[in-house]
Amino acid sequence: MRKENITVRALKRYGGFNKKYFPLRFFRILFECFSPYFNLWMSAEIVTALYEKQEKRVIFLLITITLFGNLFVHTMGALLGHLVNLEFKRLCDKEAAAFNQKTVSLDYSKLEDPKIRVLRRKIKENAFVNGYGVNCMRTSVEGILRSVISLAFAGVLFAEMLTRIASAEFEWLTWILLALMVVFTALAILAKNAVQEKEAGVFKRLNDWMLKENQLGQGHSLNGMDARVYKQQPILTRLEMKMNREHLALFSWARWRTWLHITPHILLSKIPEICAYTIVCFYCVRNIFPIGSVIKYVGYLYQFPMEILSIFYFRAELRNNEQFLVPYLEYLNLPNDMYQGTLAVEKRSDKKYDVEFRNVSFKYAGSDKYALKNVNMTFKVGERLAVVGMNGSGKTTFIKLMCRLYDPTEGEIYMNDFNIRKYDYRQYLDLFSVVFQDFSLLALPLGNNVSSSETWDAERAERCLRGVGLGERYDAMPKGLETPITKHFDDEGVNVSGGEAQKIALARALYRDAPFIILDEPTAALDPIAEAEIYSKFDEIVGDKTAIYISHRLSSCRFCDKIAVFDKGELVQLGSHEELLADQNGKYYELWTAQAQYYTK
């Protein structure tokens, strides 16, 4: 990424979210900048007219122009301000939507990649904790625009003043003072530029520290119960005080540094101001400038170097901000590498889909360890396959590969004799109804959750809810399928328990009616009675679908046709419960006897 183009590229992308915003902002700034110059000008004219004892008619006219001019400028300014705020809101909404859209459309493997997670977190933290990124870019660009427009207005007055000076007798002092103004403005800019890098370093240090503090704060987010039971408050309070002390020390250091850096620049920039006063007073005393010019010329002569300095300040701010735009652009431009496939998935009425894993191995991004190693397995439609093994043995990874959330690092997965990569990805996903261990529900009505869509077939949704044993709870819901399942957005919403949420996730899987149903620890959050109820209905729930079912509770796997036993990423056994139990040296026997002892003792 070429550095000099970063801001321009980010600006184009950002401005593209709402093409009306920047033109409106330009006009708003134009009115904002015009207002003080107009008032300076008119005040000077009124003072001069009063001093020169002009006719009342003239003075009245000047006052009327000032009042109506201000009325117009302020009314237009307020109207433009309102429009700008409206368009800014639209821009922010679109920008946030584009960011979220990027996240949801990203290959799952990338979404989970630790490096990309860090990138996403950095963008958000820089924006929310310190305001860097696109927001800083916008305010800096607007700052530059404001200064350029102000300079243009000041230029008009400056030209008027130079014409007056040029028409008067030649005075060395004037030109020396004007030259001093230019020289000291330039020196003030140089002084500011000289410390720019040091200043950026100070802010970077402060910024990094605040990001660390924010992460620590999140890491220590208190679960009130643990903190109380383990009496953690004193440790946490001490930690908080230590962090506050560190923050204060760093903050004070940063402020002192900034003060030291900025002082030469402030002193140097005062000299042009003194020169401006001297020139204007000099000509006023000699009646070359009208008396009102003191107000007019001093105001803008002072403003002139200030605006130039401000342009340099915002330019440096833009440069400093580039480091925060890099992750932003990098994230938005992340390509999706996963091959999407083109082969149409056959919609078979007999639901005959055979799956085969051939020498499949897999490593997660950023990990050198194989999560799955050389897995070979075939299973046929209509079979009930249980997948068992200790924590971390690769069961969930096996499911994720099968659903193509990840592609294997080595080996291939086939469905009906075609590599699953060849199938149209969206169609392929439609083959699976999955209840993941860490499933998530939407903060929307029950109907949306069960159908995963904006509309739903009420009869089918109700059947699925009753099928998973949620009938009674459903009957008690005040608005039936319209009932939101949180209270976040609607007081009439209901809060569901972990077990009920898991049942809703099960009902969602059933509603989809896909040929494969995959349940990863489907009853982990259920009480024993609800669990027994689900098991007793399991055949009914699954029907003629192919079911893959991960469980820690081996007793619940007995009814499956085949049981796949995973150990340290490898498929170590495959067979029926009886076959596996017969092998007393096998992993299944070990797991079974370890669990059984709790029930038999």
Task: Specify whether the CB–CB gap between 34 and 146 falls below 8 A.
Answer: no
State the CB neighbour count (10 A cutoff) for residue 592: 20
Pairing status of strand 562-567 against strand 410-415: unpaired
Among 394, 408, 447, 469, binds ligand ADP (CB under 6 A): 394
Shortest gap between Cβ of 397 and ligand ADP (angstroms)?
A: 3
Strand arrangement, sheet containing 562-567: 432-435, 516-520, 546-550, 384-389, 562-567, 570-575
Residue 324 token pair? 């925060």
Amino acid at 562: K
Question: Is 117 near ligand ADP (CB under 6 A)?
Answer: no
Question: Is 367 near ligand ADP (CB under 6 A)?
Answer: yes
Shortest gap between Cβ of 370 and ligand ADP (angstroms)?
A: 9
Question: Is 112 near ligand ADP (CB under 6 A)?
Answer: yes
Shortest gap between Cβ of 134 and ligand ADP (angstroms)?
A: 29
What is the 3 state secondary structure string of 14-58? HHHCCCCHHHHHHHHHHHHHHHHHHHHHHHHHHHHHHHCCCCHHH
Amino acid at 533: E
The contact mask relative to ligand ADP for 169-208 (x = CB under 6 A, - = no) is ----------------------------------------
Question: By C-beta, is 272 or 394 nearer to ligand ADP?
Answer: 394
Question: By C-beta, is 280 or 386 nearer to ligand ADP?
Answer: 386
Non-local (6+) Cβ contacts of 535 within 8 A are 523, 556, 559
Among 303, 397, 451, 546, binds ligand ADP (CB under 6 A): 397
Distance separating the N- and C-terminal Cα atoms of the chain: 66
Question: By C-beta, is 167 or 391 nearer to ligand ADP?
Answer: 391
Pairing status of strand 370-379 against strand 355-363: antiparallel
Question: Is 163 near ligand ADP (CB under 6 A)?
Answer: no
Question: Is 371 near ligand ADP (CB under 6 A)?
Answer: yes
| Residue 111 vs residues 96, 211, 446, 532: alpha-carbon distances, Å | 17, 22, 27, 36
- Which SS3 state, helix, strand or coil, does residue 341 take? coil
Among 395, 503, 508, 545, binds ligand ADP (CB under 6 A): 395
Span near ligand ADP by CB under 6 A; candidates 45-53, 214-222, 394-402, 473-481: 394-402
Span near ligand ADP by CB under 6 A; candidates 47-55, 395-403, 464-472, 500-508: 395-403
Shortest gap between Cβ of 384 and ligand ADP (angstroms)?
A: 19
Which residues ranging from 20 to 39 are in contact with ligand ADP (CB under 6 A)? none
CA dist 124 and 324 (Å) reads 10
Task: Specify whether the CB–CB gap between 388 and 551 falls below 8 A.
Answer: yes
Among 223, 287, 391, 440, binds ligand ADP (CB under 6 A): 391
Question: Is 393 near ligand ADP (CB under 6 A)?
Answer: yes
Question: Is 551 near ligand ADP (CB under 6 A)?
Answer: no
Question: Is 167 near ligand ADP (CB under 6 A)?
Answer: no
Residues 345, 347, 353, 359, Cα dihedral to 10°:
0
Shortest gap between Cβ of 371 and ligand ADP (angstroms)?
A: 3
Question: Is 524 near ligand ADP (CB under 6 A)?
Answer: no
Q: How many residues lie near ligand ADP (CB under 6 A)? A: 12
Among 99, 331, 364, 418, binds ligand ADP (CB under 6 A): 364
Question: Is 389 near ligand ADP (CB under 6 A)?
Answer: yes
Task: Specify whether the CB–CB gap between 415 and 348 falls below 8 A.
Answer: no
What is the 3 state secondary structure string of 285-318? HCCCCCCCHHHHHHHHHHHHHHHHHHHHHHHHHH
Among 392, 471, 498, 543, binds ligand ADP (CB under 6 A): 392
Which residues contact ligand ADP by CB under 6 A? 112, 364, 367, 371, 389, 391-397
